[in-house]
Amino acid sequence: MRIIGGARRGLRLADVGEGDPSAHLRPTSDRVREAIFNLLINGGHGNPVTDARVLDLFAGTGALGLEALSRGAAAVTFVDDGATALGLIRANVAKMRAGAETRVLRQDARRLGQNPEPGYDLVFLDPPYGKGLGEAALSAARKGGWLGQDAMVVWEENLAPTAPEGFRLLDQRKYGDTIVTLLRAAE
């Protein structure tokens, strides 16, 4: 696993092999991550990455948020409740020397509570597949003020999710067994 583009292109991240099923870690492949960022930056949605405040829910290794930082995001908050994932995120943040631009929260993404800061511009949502956790996390983020006005959501699942109330479907693409859905938070 490595950073694919931007200022830190080529940086190798902590290796988790094929993932850690017991910790529900299923890292986004380099190929899918590259497709996601091509879709975000070149897909006709403006450029939601540059200078964005990013929220990485079910962050796992933190690769999506760190890729965003490498490509010009201003800051990333990683949310995960697994000890293995938190260790990997911290190791990867250290490898990237991104401590000043990042925050790591040990928290269940479905129970975010109230956000004490301004809402986020770009949200990565990569829950364990097929458990309905994405819908619950988006609902918690919306209720808690974690989403900025017109926030872009990038949601990875194995089945195509339906845009929940309060979100507009922008795009949906399939990459192997992963379906990437782009949503925009509606006003």
For the chain, what are the domain ranges? 21-185
pLDDT tens, residue by residue, 2-30:
889 889 998 998 877 544 455 556 677 77
Angle at 77 between CA 66 and CA 63, to 5 degrees: 25
CB-neighbour burial class of residue 91 (10 A; exposed 0-12, middle 13-18, buried 19+): middle
Report pLDDT for 187.
Answer: 67
* Lookup: tokens for 88: 């990997």
pLDDT, tens digit, for every residue of 135-174?
999 999 999 999 998 999 999 999 988 888 889 999 999 9
How many angstroms separate the CA atoms of 150 and 185, rounded? 5
Say yes or no: domain 21-185 is CATH 1.10.3470.10.
no
- Cα–Cα distance for residue pair 79/57, rounded to 1 Å: 5
Q: What is the pLDDT of residue 18?
A: 47
Rounded Cα distance between 125 and 135, Å, is: 10
Locate tokens 């339906």: which residue? 162
Say if pTM beats, i.e. exceeds, 0.95: no
H-only helix segments in 11-127:
30-42, 63-70, 83-96
